[in-house]
Amino acid sequence: MAPWLKPLWESLDFANFPNAILLHGQSGIGKFSFSVELAKALLCENSNAAIKPCNQCEACHWFDTGNHPDFIALVPETHRKLLPHADYEGDDAPKRGKAARDDDSDSSEKKEKKNISIEETRHAIENLSIGSHRGGNRVILIYPLEMLRTDSANTLLKSLEEPPANTIFILLADRVDRVLPTIRSRCRHLTAPRPDREQGLAWLKTQLNTIDGLKVNDGDVETIYDEQGGAPFSVLSSLIARRNKDEKDELTISIQASRYLLQSMAQGAGMNWLDAAEKTYKAQYGFLLASMQRWVSDLQSVAQGGAPRYYPKHISTLRGLSKAANVQRMLHLWKSLVQARRHENHPLANRIQLEALLSQYQQIFGS
């Protein structure tokens, strides 16, 4: 478990655990691995709550092999690889949960879905009326909660209002502001802290040293760490994908697109915003928006005499741009970026939205 999450773990009372918790915090800081370990602890059959999960009982062994009948994970296709037992595929191994495995055989030949379907949610909720197989807890893990469609969220809400006996919901959200207020109000909130830079980098470098064939110097690690907003798990995933030369990895594509985008934005008034949008729009729109926000945030900070937080190595470029930037227009752009983040999953074409934002960015430096 990530060291910065241990205080949160130690604050949990397993003897009086709520029916639903909402774990939220920045993406890429270890919430998912924390929640999987939490699910395992809640299903552990060791009588001593102080040493859960025990990793010795039958329930723990079942969980580790992805076969625990009382654990259901609802995640979209794009996130199934995050499940610790994603490699265990079989015709009669549905309890991952079942809804998350029904169409795995076809998923490689079609575009991955980024939402949890209503069918998956209903199937999981319907099975809650049946008692748990082991006579203990049943755990439902849903991630990312904000990606639930409205109909799926309403189905979940009904179960949260009248939770079945011994059923515990572990709900994860990267953006808690996008979760329905009615769902938020029925959960106990747990905020996952982001590590400080020194702690996050130390953990990341320790993890990198355990991976064979992964060579990256400390300077590159620190640069990527800052670019990712201090999210060590995201950095680790991107470096592993780079080692594996996985050019189709969604995170790798987004990082490459983000770097091209920032190279274009560094040109200020001379940027070709049409070209930048054309070459980056296929990446995750939310990822690109976050990169733009970080760059504009640093630009605002430098313009006001401060220091950059996310791109300290680009201080000279930011200083040059800040001298030519119109502060009022920069504030208007910031508002546009915040608004865009609220609707980043809107079906409107990403390319059109990027073009509009990049054009607005270029105008910051106009006379």
In this prediction, residue 116 carries a pLDDT of: 74
Judge: domain 254-364, CATH 1.20.272: yes
pLDDT tens column, 313-341: 899 999 999 999 999 999 999 999 999 98
| Contact criterion met (CB below 8 Å) for 24 and 172 | yes
Going by pLDDT thresholds of 50, 70 and 90, the confidence category of residue 113 is low
CA-based torsion, 233, 83, 21, 114: positive or negative? positive
Q: Above pLDDT 90, what percent of the chain? A: 46
pLDDT exceeds 80 at position 20 = yes
Q: In what order do the strands lie in the sheet with 20-24?
A: 71-74, 138-142, 167-173, 20-24, 188-191
Counting Cα atoms < 13 Å in the Cβ hemisphere of 192 gives 26
Phi (first) and psi of residue 243, to 5 degrees: -65, -40
CATH class of the structural domain 3-83+114-191? alpha beta
Among 21-35, 77-91, 224-238, 344-358, which is the least confidently predicted range? Answer: 77-91
In this prediction, residue 300 carries a pLDDT of: 95
Among 122-131, 174-183, 309-318, which is the least confidently predicted range? Answer: 122-131
In this prediction, residue 88 carries a pLDDT of: 42
Shortest CA distance to 147 belongs to which of 110, 122, 182, 172?
Answer: 172
In this prediction, residue 173 carries a pLDDT of: 94
Averaged pLDDT score across all residues of the chain: 84
Distance CA 326, CA 39 (A): 51
Domain borders along the chain are 3-83+114-191, 196-244, 254-364
In this prediction, residue 85 carries a pLDDT of: 55
pLDDT exceeds 70 at position 175 = yes
Which are the contacts of 107, defined by CB distance < 8 A and separation ≥ 6?
77, 80
Going by pLDDT thresholds of 50, 70 and 90, the confidence category of residue 78 is low
| Contact criterion met (CB below 8 Å) for 212 and 11 | no
pLDDT exceeds 70 at position 98 = no
In this prediction, residue 6 carries a pLDDT of: 95
